Amino acid sequence: MNSKKARAIFTNDGECDDMNSFVHLLLYANDIDIEGLVASSSIFHYAGDPEQGIEPKRWADPKWMLEDIDAYERVYPNLVAHDPSYPTPEYLRSVTAVGNVKTIGEMSEDTKGSELIRKALLTSDPRPLWLLAGGGTNTIARALKHIELDFRGTDQWDSVYRQVCQKGIIFMVVTQDDTYRDYICRTWPDLRMLHCTSIQGIAFMFDETVIPPADLRMFRGSWIKPNLLEKGPLLARYHTWDDGHVYPGEEDRSQFGSNAELMGGNWWGKQPRNRYDMISEGDSPSFLYLIDKGLRSLEDPTFGGWGGRFVRNAENEFNPDADYWQNATDAAQGPTKGDALQLTRWIGDWMNDFASRATWCTTPDEKSVNHAPEVSVEEGVDVVAAPGQEVTLHALATDPDGDEVCVTWTRYADADGYEGELVLDVERREDGACVSLTVPADAKPGDTIHLVARASDEPSRETYMVNYRRVIITVGA
């Protein structure tokens, strides 16, 4: 157990974007304590139930997850040379399970997947347990239902309810069945839900209205093929347009890898595509939100990070009394809309980080591949300052590979508690950069100002890596 890593169980429904997210997740298995990899169902994909006369819908046998882990095993010696905390393939297989998959929202019986979730919620580990729903929430719901059946009506129910609600956090990508609406938010309203409803920019549709224009190139085959697909057996399983992959059980209109008739815009999204272009990673915000790169997203959903930014929403479609959070809307930048930008402002950084890690799969030689620079702030990451006070922060950066590092300071105004304008005076230095500002005279006690120091080795690398330090200035009396 690593107390600094987030605990997580990843559930998915086997759509091609879930498969891509799964490959991506495996490259970050060193940064997350993965306690489960669970196949579930959704409105889009389910296995069927012959006894009930239910035919399967677009169903892929969950063995694809084990096949991905087999590919991970082939590159594991290289990955572990770069970070010994990568979990063994044997461990990943041991926490891979099939959940409730027979039909949409099925939660009537225990499964290996639901039992894995139930037991994880009831362990003595004090850390939060992130339940990532790339498909429906029905397997999670079954785990919760079992707990309710065991304890409701007993003198332990109140304490068990509190434990589960304090420990569990659901991260749901859009809404892919009705089990959160019909069961979870009614029986477990204090169980926090982060509902990722704005996945524009990483789910099938890509243009400058949802992705910053400078980052669109990373969604084209000319970038993806050399930087991802050609990086060994694990990345060869990453799905792109017209790459020859066939998705078992999928209908022709969604066979993006093998149905050449879909090219040129002849598909439901209408946008033209070229060979090896990005298809989708619609479920990746769930685990990207957990990766600690210094943005502090796990401290507060309103801070924002690689998986998006969230605000509490009592006026939701489920239950106004639920601990329910939904994607925020940041201010638009140029042609890129704010509801997408809350997620895609970081997309260039995480795509480059992804590509750099893909290169780790090809060699154990640390000197021939890239690693992230380190960055720190001399004054710390929590500062208290009064209105009118000048604040100066010094960000220091080093690089394990000896690369040139560029350090920048920006304000993340959308996450601020102070709504006025600020002037930042940034000075580049050989070892980093410093920023100075004066706390505005009209700032009120308790207002916050979020500043992000970003350290990147982009000047030295074709695919760069980053780290951040978010400093929160809290206005005092």
Output the pLDDT for position 4: 80
For range 87-105, the mean pLDDT: 98
Q: In the block, which residue shows the tokens 């882990």?
A: 69
Q: Could you give the CA distance from residue 33 to residue 423 in angstroms, rounded to a whole number?
A: 40
Structural tokens at position 329: 């809307």
Residue (of 319, 305, 277, 61) closest to 185 by Cα position: 319
281-329 pLDDT, tens digit per residue, is 999 999 999 998 999 999 999 999 999 999 999 999 999 999 999 999 9
Q: Could you give the CA distance from residue 432 to residue 408 in angstroms, rounded to a whole number?
A: 8
Q: Give the rounded percent of residues in the chain with a pLDDT score beyond 70.
A: 99
pLDDT-based confidence at residue 279 (cuts at 50, 70, 90): very high
Residue (of 234, 198, 238) closest to 219 by Cα position: 238
Output the pLDDT for position 396: 97
**Domain spans of the chain, in order of start:** 1-369, 370-475
Output the pLDDT for position 2: 52
Structural tokens at position 380: 């710390």
Q: CA-CA distances (angstroms) from residue 463 to 37, 60, 343, 350, 458? A: 29, 33, 20, 10, 7
Residue (of 17, 464, 463, 61) closest to 230 by Cα position: 463
> Mean pLDDT, the chain, as a whole number?
96
Output the pLDDT for position 3: 62
Q: CA-CA distances (angstroms) from residue 280 to 19, 42, 63, 205? A: 10, 17, 21, 8
SS3 437: strand
For range 179-193, the mean pLDDT: 98
323-342 pLDDT, tens digit per residue, is 999 999 999 999 999 999 99
For range 59-77, the mean pLDDT: 97
Looking at residue 208, its amino acid is: E
Output the pLDDT for position 1: 47
Output the pLDDT for position 292: 85
Q: How many helices (H) and strands (E) does the chain have?
A: 12, 16
Structural tokens at position 156: 């332990």
The vertex-88 CA angle with 85 and 90, nearest 5°, equals: 160
Structural tokens at position 111: 């499964």
Q: Could you give the CA distance from residue 7 to residue 118 in angstroms, rounded to a whole number?
A: 14
pLDDT at 31 over 50: yes
Region of 201 (left: φ > 0; alpha: ψ -120 to 50; beta: rest) is left
Q: Could you give the CA distance from residue 53 to residue 443 in angstroms, rounded to a whole number?
A: 64
410-468 pLDDT, tens digit per residue, is 999 999 999 999 999 999 998 899 999 999 999 999 999 999 999 999 989 999 999 99
**CB within 8 Å of 463: residues ≥ 6 apart:** 227, 352, 355, 356, 359, 370
Look at the chain and count its residues: 477
Two domains, one topology: 1-369 and 370-475: no
Query: Which string of b and e fits 65-103 if b means at least 16 CB within 10 Å?
Result: beebbebbbebbebbbebeeebbebeebeebbbbbbbbb
For range 146-150, the mean pLDDT: 98
* CATH domain 1-369 topology: Inosine-uridine Nucleoside N-ribohydrolase; Chain A (3.90.245)
For range 356-380, the mean pLDDT: 96
Edge to edge, the sheet with strand 32-39 lists: 96-98, 32-39, 6-12, 129-133, 168-173, 192-196, 324-327, 310-312
pTM for the structure as a whole: 0.96
Q: Could you give the CA distance from residue 235 to residue 23 in angstroms, rounded to a whole number?
A: 7
Class of domain 370-475: mainly beta
pLDDT at 267 over 60: yes
State residue 146 phi and psi, 5-degree precision.
-60, -45
**CB within 8 Å of 240: residues ≥ 6 apart:** 221, 224, 225, 229, 257, 275, 276, 277, 278, 279
pLDDT at 41 over 70: yes
pLDDT at 359 over 90: yes
pLDDT at 62 over 50: yes
SS3 337: coil
pLDDT-based confidence at residue 200 (cuts at 50, 70, 90): confident
Q: Give the rounded percent of residues in the chain with a pLDDT score beyond 90.
A: 96
**CB within 8 Å of 283: residues ≥ 6 apart:** 12, 17, 18, 21, 132, 134, 173
